[in-house]
């Protein structure tokens, strides 16, 4: 099952992770593409959607998503397939300061 | 009326809540330390506070506190629709509309529980009728064809930074836009008309100097006890209206400068207003590197230059549009600067005292 890891800068906005020291959050999610994985993640944590995507459904300018070590190429098209062993990292892009 | 008990200072690195100690104002607590708080609004009907955050990477957020900043709950933020486009009148290409900044806050009237207003970059006005749980774009303004003539002032996109809700009838609003003059609704935001007659934009081509839509209002305030009286700090100078924004009169030759961003009006005396002048356009620093607040007490006929307690030597503090606030008594004022200076006056600006702290850059000050 693919795994998604949220950087601590992002996970600290999840109510369950707000207390204590900042730490990564990891979730195993049954999905066959990135769009499905993120949708399932946002269903579990509804406030997270607005942190990762803007209201037009595009990955925010200063958010980076890596799938199996490669940054996604098109922030507006998330229909990228995932393998059962895929690891997805969602993090703040360094361009954002 | 009792003095408000808190000064809310929104900064690049968090919200600072100040209270009056025995001898001086002091930081009582902080919230969102490390995060950029761009504006904090107070709903005077129920005492709740609303903090607007700009998280950079993760977008704009809104939080509410009902216990004076001790705890906060995240709310929804305004969202533009899939077909909404930012088209601007200064030649930049069209772009999909996304929320860039929460730039203005106001609450509704006594008979409108839960009603809140937010002004945003890129130019949408949003209304909530459920204390911020959901937001609706005011399409009557957004869909007006003239919006495509609006343009950004200091930002890539236009923005609404001033919202004045008429205390006599809360369905009547005046908003100010940088850059698109002043707009009025009488029906709670459904229909709108422009009302910037008399404003002058020296920076525009001459034939468009009096074009109402080209007016770069930096901030607009309304006298609570005399709502027909409004004051504007404009890119070009100081303007006043005494007829509810139907017409505006320019007030020229105010020393040391008519350029600035911030304005405040006394809550009961519409003839008293305060400004924080600077050298215009590319400089944006105090004149002669001396921080000055200007004050009129006679409707703009004469101005005092208030300096007592403000730095008068090598001072480069700029007071941005939400960096000046007067309290509900009309006695206390606060100014916060882009380099983290904070000064408070308790005698209408005659004397000022600096906060004994080095704050991050200040985005907004407000009394809670």
What is the per-residue pLDDT across B44-57, written as a single tens digit (0 to 9) for each? 999 999 999 999 99
pLDDT at site B92: 85
Q: Of B316, B320, B352, B317, which Cα lies nearest the Cα of B334?
A: B352
3-state secondary structure of B65: strand
Q: Of B255, B258, B256, B214, which Cα lies nearest the Cα of B240?
A: B258
Total number of domains constituting chain A = 1
Beta-carbon contacts below 8 Å between A and B: 42
Average pLDDT, chain B: 96
| Residue reference for tokens 């399932």 | A40
Q: Which chain B residues touch A95 with a CB distance below 8 Å?
A: none
Residue of B nearest to A59 (CA): B58
**CATH number of the domain where residue A21 is located:** 3.10.20.30
Pairing of strands B48-54, B37-43: antiparallel
3-state secondary structure of A95: helix
pLDDT at site B114: 96
> Using CB atoms, which residue from A50, A58, A92 is nearest to B77?
A50
Mean pLDDT of B339-348: 98
- pLDDT higher than threshold 50 for residue B1: no
- A19, A50, A52, A76: best to mutate for the B interface, most B CBs within 10 A: A50
Q: Which residues contact B275 (CB under 8 A, 6 or more apart)?
A: B233, B238, B254, B260, B262, B263, B293, B294, B295
- B12, B33, B58, B98: best to mutate for the A interface, most A CBs within 10 A: B58
pLDDT digits (tens, 9 = 90+) for A25-84: 999 999 999 999 999 999 999 999 999 999 999 999 999 999 999 999 999 999 999 999
CA distance A91 to chain B (A): 9
Cα separation of the two ends of chain B: 13
Q: How many residues does chain A have?
A: 97
- pLDDT higher than threshold 90 for residue B87: no
A80-89, B126-135, B218-227, B275-284: lowest mean pLDDT where? B275-284
Mean pLDDT of B235-245: 97
- A56, A57, A60, A65: best to mutate for the B interface, most B CBs within 10 A: A56
Mean pLDDT of B236-248: 97
For residue B173 the two structure tokens come to 């609003």
> Using CB atoms, which residue from B57, B74, B82 is nearest to A60?
B57
B57 touches chain A (CB under 8 A): yes
B62, B67, B73, B76: CA torsion to nearest 10 = -40
Residue of B nearest to A56 (CA): B82
Phi and psi of A4, rounded to 5°?
-120, 135
ipTM for the complex? 0.89
A14-23, B67-76, B114-123, B325-334: lowest mean pLDDT where? A14-23
> Contact A55/B79, CB-based, under 8 Å?
yes
For residue B271 the two structure tokens come to 């003839």
B85 touches chain A (CB under 8 A): no
pLDDT digits (tens, 9 = 90+) for B295-328: 999 999 999 999 999 999 999 999 999 999 999 9
More confident residue, B203 or B199: B199
> Using CB atoms, which residue from A47, A58, A96 is nearest to B56?
A96
For residue B192 the two structure tokens come to 């709108």
> Using CB atoms, which residue from A50, A56, A93 is nearest to B57?
A93
3-state secondary structure of B213: helix
Geometric angle at alpha carbon B311, from B305 and B315, rounded to 5°: 105
Residue of A nearest to B32 (CA): A13
- pLDDT higher than threshold 80 for residue B173: yes
CB atoms within 10 A of CB B170: 18
> Using CB atoms, which residue from A9, A56, A62 is nearest to B82?
A56
A22 touches chain B (CB under 8 A): no
| Residue reference for tokens 């995507």 | A53
Q: Which residues contact A8 (CB under 8 A, 6 or more apart)?
A: A22, A23, A24
- pLDDT higher than threshold 90 for residue A22: no
A63 touches chain B (CB under 8 A): yes
B120, containing H or E segment: strand B116-121
Residue of A nearest to B76 (CA): A47
A52 touches chain B (CB under 8 A): yes
Pairing of strands B293-296, B304-306: antiparallel
pLDDT at site B3: 53
Domain that holds residue A64: 3-96
Q: Which chain B residues touch A92 with a CB distance below 8 Å?
A: 57-58
């Amino acid at each position: 099952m693919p795994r998604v890891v949220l950087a601590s800068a992002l996970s600290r906005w999840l109510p369950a992770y707000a207390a204590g020291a900042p730490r990564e959050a990891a979730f195993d999610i049954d999905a066959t593409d990135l769009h499905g994985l993120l949708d399932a993640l946002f269903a579990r944590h509804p406030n997270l959607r607005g942190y990762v995507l803007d209201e037009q459904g595009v990955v925010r300018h200063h958010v980076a998503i890596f799938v199996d070590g490669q940054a996604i190429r098109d922030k507006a098209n998330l229909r990228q397939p995932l393998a059962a062993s895929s690891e997805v990292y969602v993090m703040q892009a360094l361009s954002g300061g | 009326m009792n003095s408000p008990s808190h000064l809310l200072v929104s900064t690049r690195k968090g919200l600072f809540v100040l209270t009056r100690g025995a001898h001086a104002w002091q930081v009582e607590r902080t919230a969102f330390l490390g995060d950029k708080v761009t504006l904090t609004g107070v709903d005077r009907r129920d005492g709740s506070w609303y903090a607007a955050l700009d998280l950079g990477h993760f977008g704009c957020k809104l939080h509410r506190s009902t216990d004076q900043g001790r705890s906060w709950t995240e709310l929804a933020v305004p969202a533009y629709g899939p077909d909404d486009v930012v088209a601007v009148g200064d030649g930049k290409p069209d772009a999909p509309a996304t929320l860039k900044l929460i730039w203005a806050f106001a609450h509704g009237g006594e008979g409108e529980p839960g009603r809140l207003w937010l002004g945003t970059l890129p130019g949408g006005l949003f209304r909530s009728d459920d204390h911020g749980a959901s937001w609706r774009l005011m399409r009557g303004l957004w869909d007006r064809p003239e919006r495509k003539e609006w343009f950004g002032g200091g930002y890539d996109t236009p923005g609404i930074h001033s919202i004045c809700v008429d205390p006599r009838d809360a369905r009547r609003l005046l908003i100010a836009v940088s850059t698109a003059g002043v707009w009025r609704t009488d029906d709670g935001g459904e229909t709108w008309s422009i009302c910037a007659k008399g404003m002058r934009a020296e920076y525009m081509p001459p034939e468009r100097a009096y074009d109402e839509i080209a007016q770069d209002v930096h901030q607009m305030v309304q006298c609570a006890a005399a709502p027909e009286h409004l004051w504007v700090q404009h890119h070009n100078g100081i303007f006043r209206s005494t007829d509810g924004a139907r017409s505006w009169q320019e007030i020229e030759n105010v020393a040391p400068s008519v350029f600035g961003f911030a304005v405040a009006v006394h809550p009961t005396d519409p003839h008293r207003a305060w400004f924080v002048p600077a050298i215009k356009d590319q400089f944006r620093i105090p004149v002669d590197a001396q921080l000055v607040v200007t004050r009129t007490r006679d409707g703009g006929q004469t101005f005092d230059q208030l300096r007592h307690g403000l730095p008068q030597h090598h001072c480069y503090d700029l007071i941005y549009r939400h960096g000046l606030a007067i309290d509900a008594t009309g006695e206390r004022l606060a100014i916060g600067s882009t380099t983290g200076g904070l000064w408070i006056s308790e005698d209408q600006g005659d004397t000022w005292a600096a906060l004994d702290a080095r704050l991050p850059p200040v985005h907004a000050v407000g009394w809670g």
